[in-house]
Chain A
Amino acid sequence: MAFGPYLLLASLEGLVTAAVLALMALGLSLVFGVMRVVNVAHGEFYMLGAVIAWWSASLISGHPALGFLLALVVSPLIVAAIALLSDRLVLRRLNYEPQATIVATIGLLYIIQQLALTFYGPDARPVQAPFDMRLALPWFGYSAYKLAIIAASIFLIIATWIGLTRTKAGLVMRATQSDPDTAQAFGIPVDRVYAVVFALGAGMAALAAVLIVPIQQAHYLMGQDPLLLSFVVVIIGGLGSLRGTVVAALFIGLSDGIISMFFSPTLAKMLATLLVALVLVFRPQGLFGTAAR
């Protein structure tokens, strides 16, 4: 393939990766940004979202879009409910103490993963995209649904941004994020804010999973890699900066896509990983974070 079209393809793929990363990171940037807890089970909420998407899509026969739409509604709700439950039963009792939270959420990870294996099984199962269209470009074909993911990602980012900056709930969250003690003193029920944020974050992970599962598959071990990647995106972007999260996702997605044009795949992955690490080494507060206090 000529260089131009190849670059176009690599950039398109990079954009899709970026969109996927941003989607996955949205929920985590909320949880991590506001609560400052490392939720190791976040990837499992994502996995659950995909598995429930498969389940609800298989309930409905007929056009695949119907099942997909049902999944889009049902999956985030169920996952958010599970997250709310685990927050009330476990995390709150730990006072969100960072180290204890890590162990507890590792425990949660084991439980969710095992239940998925027992009840859903070890197979990778596909969910059909709501529409199946192949864009035939002059040089190669491309999936229209992948472009739809980019659009959905942009839409959700804007919605989150409006939610955080233009609504009262957003204000409460931001207040809690910048200083929980003062927020408490001003009568903000920090405890309840945490519960809502935790559920919301998990719901967003599930939503991302529903959108992504038509181009990947639902599998009970699918949670690990997205967890790591979304952590990376959130930190590189700078804690609490939505703009940073978006830029970081673009940076990581595109560098991964374009570096892969020039090197053998595994070497490209190594270089991209190192590049990301070095960005953080020389800019520890992340791209858009404020310098550490």
Chain B
Amino acid sequence: MVDHRKAGGGITRRIALKTFGAAAGVAAAPGFVRYAQTQSSAPIKIGFQCHRTGIGAAYGRWYERVTNATVKLINDAGGINGRPIEIVTEDDGTDPKRGSEVIEKFANQHKVDLIYGTLFSHVVVGSAPIVGELKIPYYVVSEGYHVASGKLNRYCIQPGITDVKAQVRSVAPWIAQNLGKKVTLIFPDYAFGHDHRDFFEPAIRSQGGEVVAKIAIPPTETSFTRYIPQIPRETDVIYHVMVGPSVLTFVKELGEFFGSSGPQLFGFIDSLESVALDSPGLEFLEGSHFWEGMPRYAQPDQPDYVTFYREAVGLDENGASTDDSRDVSAAAHMFGCWETLYVIKAAMEASGYRGPEDRAKLIEATEAMTDMEAGREHPQGRKLFNGKIHQVFGEQYISQVKSGKLEVVHRTSIEDGLYEPEGDYTAMPF
């Protein structure tokens, strides 16, 4: 990986700050010279929109590590079409406004071939308009339903991680069969939480179950005890998706309230990504179940390619960094970076990508993809890509907390998550 920071132009830009007038001179300065992509061995530049600061920083750190590990592997194996990948990272502060500015920076200043790697939905949605205007491919690793909804544009694509609608539909049958049919939903009162609410209810109903209560928690909340009485007595299962740092409080307060009795718990690991499960206060989760995009803890029966992936990324068997056992990974999401980069590689090779003039061909080549076999390039499992809605489908993991570790108890099939497409990007012009 070449760090873009070393790429000249610094002093001239500082002058630009001082006065408007100098700006004209800047145009001619070395840092602003257009990158001439004539040599065939010139690196393929990928702009990595990274949550280094802001609320997404815990994820961003791991997205960055996985990205670096994957790029190193690809480059060591000869790169893409004989050209190495160069990652250019910009921090978006996990903010949609800054996110869209960063997109402009990638496209117009760094002159990258494509942009990749965004996680938080609001940054993806905030960046989507400018991506469509600049006509630059935007490969996100976000699990939001935004891409699949058909409401973005032809340049936005999510080929490395499944979306929340598919995830919710996949786990609903298992919940109804194993935990209970009367479900209370606890979710944050914003779009991601509402997606869970809206997709889960029909899914559980078709299994003969029902949602008995929906408790939407305002994102500014730091204490939850007072909402717990709103959970109806008849509830079999509490389905919880809490995002943000207050999740530990939430779990602890559930424990204080219910003690050893109480309904079953089913949660989405999103809230506990990069949080150690043996943190004080999380004892109450023992025996409860979680959705995982990919198992955090090494499983006894895991295939070789998973072991390979974990070693390359630097994960110990508890899913923490091999350098620091307290540095827990975002295992359920970050595999998406790995797989997305391999999808980009495959699509570039299939389309014979040479440079920005082939961007449309790159998108078409990605759209043409369907089956992706499990293996080193897809360690999370087999995938099925739907080119119409630019969204990949895959298997989900359901794990149980046993002695403070997550153990996979069920693996859903791709078919469990499939749904009718709501849009068709291939019908949109470039």
Contacts and interface: CB of A to CB of B under 8 A. Distances in A.
B229 A1 contact: yes
Nearest to A268: B218
A6 interface: yes
Given A126-B281, A266-B218, A216 B257 contact: no
A269 interface: yes
Chain A interface bracket (under 10, 10 to 19, 20 to 34, 35 or more): 35 or more
B236 to A, nearest CB: 17
A214 to B, nearest CB: 9
A141 B256 CA distance: 5
Interface string A1-28: 1000110011001101100000000000
A221 interface: yes
B151 to A, nearest CB: 24
Contacts of A121: 58, 61, 327
Interface in B261-312: 274-275, 279-281
Contact of A141 (B245, B247, B258, B280): B258
A261 to B, nearest CB: 8
A124 interface: yes
Contact of A265 (B227, B233, B245, B281): B227
Contact of A122 (B58, B218, B225, B247): B58
Nearest to B51: A122
Contacts of B259: 134, 136, 141
Contacts of B57: 117, 122, 220
Given A13-B226, A225-B220, A257-B226, A126 B246 contact: no
A290 interface: no
Contacts, number: 97
A217 B246 contact: yes
A269 B355 CA distance: 52
Contacts of A142: 225, 256-257
B218 A265 contact: yes
A122 B258 CA distance: 30
User: Which of A122, A128, A219, A222 counts the most B-chain CB atoms under 10 A from its CB?
Assistant: A122
B189 interface: yes
B40 interface: no
Contacts of A261: 226
B248 interface: yes
A123 interface: yes
A215 B223 CA distance: 8
B222 interface: yes
A114 interface: yes
A269 B61 CA distance: 33
B221 interface: yes
B222 A216 contact: yes
A140 interface: yes
Contact of B257 (A10, A141, A264): A141
Nearest to A2: B229
Interface of B: 53-55, 57-58, 60-61, 189, 215-218, 220-223, 225-229, 233, 245-249, 252-253, 255-259, 274-275, 279-281, 327-328
19 contacts: A6-B229, A10-B226, A13-B226, A14-B226, A17-B223, A121-B61, A124-B245, A124-B248, A126-B279, A128-B280, A134-B256, A140-B228, A141-B256, A143-B256, A215-B249, A215-B252, A221-B54, A265-B217, A269-B220
